């Protein structure tokens, strides 16, 4: 159940936001092996003159940037998966946004499965419940 918050420099552009959400969802499914039907992506834009790197605005630097923050369940991906995802996001957003500043970040936050969820249920509960269904384990033994 990835929750992805993407901030992009520049003026609001709904068509670009759709492309970004589609691409990020695809990478999240392919690289991190996350289910598309529970992947949430929000895209927000911040004007170049309000985004600063080393006290210089992106407008002054004449470049673009992004910050992607993704929340995933703790210990569901290897370090190599996460490194591949960060690289793929950087390359992909560079293609979609054009000239991006090297200081464009992707942050992967690993959440404890008992600390978040959807449908009013924690991810841990969903996991245990699915294991019970798949393995026919009586509830009293878990």
| Beta bridge partner(s), residue 106 | 68
Instruction: Please tell me which residue, 126 or 36, carries the higher pLDDT value.
Output: 36
pLDDT at 142: 43
pLDDT value at 138 more than 60: no
Q: For the residues 20-38, what does the mean pLDDT come to? A: 97
Using a 10 angstrom Cβ sphere, with 0-12 exposed, 13-18 middle and 19 or more buried, the burial of residue 45 is: middle
pLDDT value at 141 more than 50: no
Domains of the chain as residue ranges with CATH: 3-111 (3.30.429.10), 113-142 (no CATH)
pLDDT tens digits for 77-109?
A: 999 999 999 999 999 999 999 999 999 999 999
Cα radius of gyration rounded to whole Å, the chain = 18
The two three-digit tokens of residue 98, written as one number: 């054009």
């Amino acid at each position: 159940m990835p929750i992805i918050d993407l901030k992009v420099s520049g003026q609001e552009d709904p068509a670009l936001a759709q492309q970004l959400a589609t691409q990020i969802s695809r990478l999240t499914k392919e690289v991190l092996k996350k289910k598309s039907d529970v992947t949430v992506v929000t895209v927000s834009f911040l004007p170049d003159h309000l985004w600063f790197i080393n006290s210089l605005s992106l407008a002054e630097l004449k470049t673009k940037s992004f910050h992607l923050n993704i929340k995933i369940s703790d210990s569901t991906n290897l370090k190599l998966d996460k490194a591949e995802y960060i690289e793929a996001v950087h390359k992909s957003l560079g293609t979609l946004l054009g000239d991006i500043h090297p200081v464009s970040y992707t942050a992967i936050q690993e959440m404890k499965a008992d600390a978040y969820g959807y449908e009013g249920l924690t991810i841990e509960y969903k996991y245990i419940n699915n294991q019970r269904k798949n393995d026919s384990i009586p509830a009293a033994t878990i």
